[in-house]
Structure 1
Amino acid sequence: MSRSGSSESTSSIESNTIQPVPLDQRHGRSRDMFTIWFGTNIMILAIVTGALATTVFGLPAWAAAVAIVAGNLFGALFMALHSAQGPTLGVPQMVQTKGQFGSLGAVLIVAVVVCMYTGFFISILVFGGESLASVLPFLGEKGGILILAAVSITATIWGYSLIHTYARIMTWASGLTLVLAFIWAFVVHPVPSGFFHGGGSTIAGFLGAFVASAVWQIAYAPYVSDYSRYMPKATGARPAFWMSYLGTSIGSILPMFLGAGVGLLMPTTDPALALTKATAGISVLVVAVFSIGVAATNAMNLYCGTLCTITIIQTFVPKFTAKARARAVIAALLCALAVAVSLSAGSGFVATYNNLLVLLMGALVPWTAVNLVDFYLVRHGDYVVEDFFERDGGRYGYVNWTAVVCYLLGVAVQLPFMIIGTWYTGPLARMLGSVDISFIVGLVVVSPLYYVVMTLQTRRRADLASEAVG
């Protein structure tokens, strides 16, 4: 599909923030959804996540591969369903949340998203800075953090088009580097004879690897349609869904395979260090490219956090029509806060903060269930976008108590199944062999409950309206 003549280019700063994207400014092709999710998933953190399957969960090669594939394919379903909403409504993901929860009911969830993605931003700065410093010692960890922050803030200020362009570049750079790393680790350096024949697979271990892979995908849900909202409405939901699904699945499975394999080669070694040893000879290239790759993801984290912050402000100040300058100022403030925390972080910071991020993720799973059921099964994508920007929520009101109660119930039912690092292990999670399946429980409970209640309410309103007319 050709681009609209009025579309913004990479050389220009995006003028929109959370406003609906006019039809004459829509641009891009469905394949852009493939490159942005393929290019941003091939990074050092995906490799570390894949290594969990063989190091932490103790799976042999075949079981690790199956768990990684199954988990990513399952989690990507939810991620891609959110992506398909973008071309239909043309607004950021969390603005659309007002259509399900009401103008004020959505504020708490949007605030959780700001905290979560700021946390992701900080964690990736710390981890990425350490990875860069491991192959480029002259930078030091602080130098690596500052480089990644500079790249991220630049992409966020320029906005949507530059982020997509960055992802296209990383698709080729990271993809080719990934192939080279596979060849170097498992062909140039032959694997041990028993590499593919290990035993010891357990149900708990398989579930652990499956959940880690699925949650990797579901973590994108609160911002995925931010990167499809400029696509022409005629593109349709189906191409956006499939290109996002394939891009994020393949882009995650392949680096996780590399991580699982490196974990088998050196199970007692830190995965990032093990990757460096396994690719000895080209390790500087491999780690540098994969570390720079996290800057693309971090730009998306910062962009999302900025749009969500603007959404909160606009809820209470409806006349606040933020443009490029406001996005730049808010992004700079969030980035400065993240850099300050990252530079002062102690050795145990990432582990501690990751525990908090797990808790925040649990708070978003019920939102995913409500959002997808409402969009696809209750309203069938039929929303009045202008009402999202009204102080009183227009026809969606201040608070949709059905959505809020289902959401809170979804958070509550997850707690017994949840594991938050060393802070907390739910009693049912302990019975399952210390495996966290809380997100599955949240989805299974909230989705049918919200659908049934909303359907009954809709029918009751229709009956009352019919009686009033009669």
Structure 2
Amino acid sequence: MTLPDPPNAPARVLERHTIGPIPLAERHGSGKGLFGIWLGVNMLPLTVVTGAIATVVFALPFWWAFVAIVLGNVVGGIFMALHAVQGPQLGVPQMLQARGQFGARGAALIVVIALVMFLGFFISNLVVGAQALHHVVPGLSVTAGICIAASISLVISIFGLRLIRAIVSLWAVVIGALVVMSLIWIGTNGAADGVLSGEFNAVGFFSVMAIGAVWQKAYAPYVSDYSRYLPAGFGARGAFWGTYGGSVLSTIFVMSLGALVGAAAPGSEPMAGLGNLLGGLGTVVLLAFAVASASTNAGNIYCAMLNTLTIGETFRKGWLPGLRGRIVTTVALHAVGLVVAIAGQGDFLVNFKNFILLLLYVLVPWSAINLVDYFLVRRGHYDVEAFFAADGGRYGYWNWTALGVYALGVAVQVPFAVTELYTGPIARAIGGVDLAWMFGLVVSGGVYYLLARRRPDVITEPAQTQAVEEPAPVR
């Protein structure tokens, strides 16, 4: 038996909504709010480490690395931020919308993949943040740092999206100022030789571009989770630019810092190298990064929670989780992440990160199908109530057209894929340049558009924006 949340549930303090549509009366926020949270989302040690790949692994001179980072993020950010438009219109989490393309149960496969990716990033951030903290406080083990980071994330996650947004936006200002100071400090204190070292190489340049683009694409399953509370009449332009501007700007700055550190201190682990290069300022910067990583990591678990509940509702129709379901799921996910992070401090973490990169390849076709369906096929017209129908409503349980195109989109990337676990034959032939995500986007989106226009379930008449009240939550 399921029970509703008690009337005195602290809804104003603890978020009570989960995967159900956000009632119109509770919509709030602006593009500035989206800009703030997306500016802070990338202020992480993991972003620094990723940027260092350009100059350490691919040996690019800093300025060529900077150009590749900018181009990759500018292009990839477009496809990521387009998903933000869907949140205000539909009022439901990002991956739940996949039911409109794949069917109620067909979408479950995509949701599971996204869930694993969210957990993967949560675990990676726990470890990298704990390593930064260990560098500042050597007497504190990495394991202890992981436990502290997970505890901070858990407390923030319990309160929900409102607190996550506030804290992430705050760290955007703090870390942003420290990143600018660090760039100036390193650039004016003996880093010139490192900046100019190395030679341009096409493989490195295009690979770093791909890293930037895929970094942005990796956020696609998050986007409407953050924008779904915006007013239903909120303009598409504001949702897009708030998300795009914040995410692209912060990633470029923080990845560029990592590339500069890699060029100036190529023999060091990036976060340790950053601390050493900054001298006395290094302790402050690393400590801030470590605490920020623990705080903003709550966003990964928040989205993982929404996906977990989406999977549960898929096979238990009529069950709409409320406050208790959100909290129990959040605690369970933190426990799983904590155990894996502690076990994966060594080489396993590297392999796990490679696995996450493979998951990104299989999410690219979903993104293409979702965007084409929303903007070109249905033009934003969805029956939101049907997402929760016991029989799948007009979208059914399975959409074999979308699933077939999705499989094609994954398969077409295989010859172009470049990872430490596998490199495709075409990628090897062109020197290891990673073009897989481009082909995944173009083929999936193009083929889906041609086939989906003939589907009988496509809504052709104007449809209302989600205007119904959320069904009574149950725990």
TM-score by length of 2: 0.92
Q: Count how many residue pairs are aligned between Structure 1 and Structure 2.
A: 452
Distance apart, 1:11 and its partner CA: 6.3
Counterpart position of 1:34? 35
Give, as a single letter, the amino acid of the residue that structure 1 aligns with 2:354: N
RMSD: 1.9
Give the secondary-structure state (helix, strand or coil) at the position aligned to 2:16.
Answer: coil
CA offsets 1:82-110 (integer angstroms, 9 cap, x no match) = 11211111100011110111001101111
Contact 2:77/2:248 (8 A) holds in 1: yes
- What does residue range 18-417 of structure 1 map to in structure 2 within 5 Å? 18-187=19-188, 189-192=189-192, 194-195=193-194, 197-198=196-197, 200-417=199-416
Residue equivalent to 1:468:
none
3-state DSSP class of the match of 2:245? helix
Q: Which moved more, 1:17-26 or 1:132-141?
A: 132-141
Please report how far the alpha carbon of residue 297 of structure 1 lies from its aligned counterpart in structure 2 after TM superposition: 3.7
**Equivalent residue letter for 1:447:** G
2:436 is aligned, of 420, 435, 438, to 438
- Preserved contact between residue 378 and residue 458 of structure 2 (Cα < 8 Å): no
- What residue number does 2:467 align with? none
Whichever residue aligns with residue 399 of structure 2, its letter is N
State the 1:191 CA deviation. Answer: 2.7
Tell me which amino acid in the other structure corresponds to 1:349.
Answer: F
Tell whether the 8 Å contact from 2:381 to 2:459 is kept in structure 1 after alignment.
Answer: no
- 1:409-451, Cα deviation, whole Å (9 max, x unpaired): 1111111111231x22111111121232211110111111100
Within 2, Cα distance between the matches of 1:268 and 1:262?
Answer: 10
Contact in 1 for aligned 2:58/2:204 (Cα 8 Å): yes
1:107-135, Cα deviation, whole Å (9 max, x unpaired) = 11111111111122112211211111111
Q: Which amino acid aligns with 1:407?
A: Y
d(CA) in 1 for partners of 2:195, 2:273: 18
Q: Matched residues in 2 for 1:260 and 1:346: separation?
A: 23
Q: CA deviation at 1:198?
A: 4.2
The answer to whether the 8 Å contact 2:29/2:230 transfers is: yes
The superposition leaves residues 164-186 of structure 1 with CA deviations (integer Å, 9 ceiling, x where unpaired) of 10112111111111122123222
Letter in 2 for 1:298: N
Structure 1 match to 2:449? 451
CA-CA distance at 1:277 after TM superposition: 1.2
SS of equivalent residue, structure 1 residue 232: coil
1:31-70 CA-to-partner distances (Å, cap 9, x unmatched) read: 0111101112122111111111111112112211110100
Paired with 2:131 and 2:183, the residues of 1 have a C-alpha distance of 23
CA separation in 2, counterparts of 1:270 and 1:376?
43
Distance 1:11 1:456, change over 3 A: closer
CA contact (8 A) 1:83 1:244 kept: yes
2:473 is aligned to none
In the aligned structure 2, how far is the partner of 1:126 from the partner of 1:377? 41
Report the Cα offset of residue 269 of structure 1. 2.1
Contact kept in structure 2, 1:9 and 1:161, CA below 8 Å: no
Distance 1:391 1:264 in 2: 56
- Indicate the larger mover: 83-92 or 116-125: 116-125
Confirm or deny: 8 A CA contact 1:417 1:428 kept in the other structure.
Answer: yes
CA contact (8 A) 1:79 1:218 kept: yes
Q: Within 2, Cα distance between the matches of 1:60 and 1:292?
A: 31
Matched AA of 2:205: F
Q: Distance in 1 between matches of 2:312 and 2:204?
A: 44
**Structure 2: which 5+ runs fail to align?**
1-8, 461-475
Spell out structure 1 runs of 4+ moving beyond 4 A: 8-11, 194-199, 458-462
Q: Which one-letter code corresponds to 1:350 in the other structure?
A: L
Partner of 1:4: none
What is the TM-score with the length of structure 1 in the denominator?
Answer: 0.93
Deviation by residue 1:378-408 (Cα, 9 ceiling, x = unmatched): 0011001010011221011111111100000
Partner AA of 2:113 in structure 1: V
Distance 1:18-1:251 versus aligned 2 partners, 3 A rule: same
- Is contact 2:40–2:296 with CA below 8 Å preserved after alignment? no
Cα deviation, 1:269-326, whole Å, max 9, x if unaligned, reads: 2211211111111111111111222224421111111111100111111121101111
1:131 counterpart letter in structure 2:
A
Identify if the C-alpha distance between structure 1 residues 200 and 104 changes in structure 2 by more than 3 Å, giving closer, same or farther. same
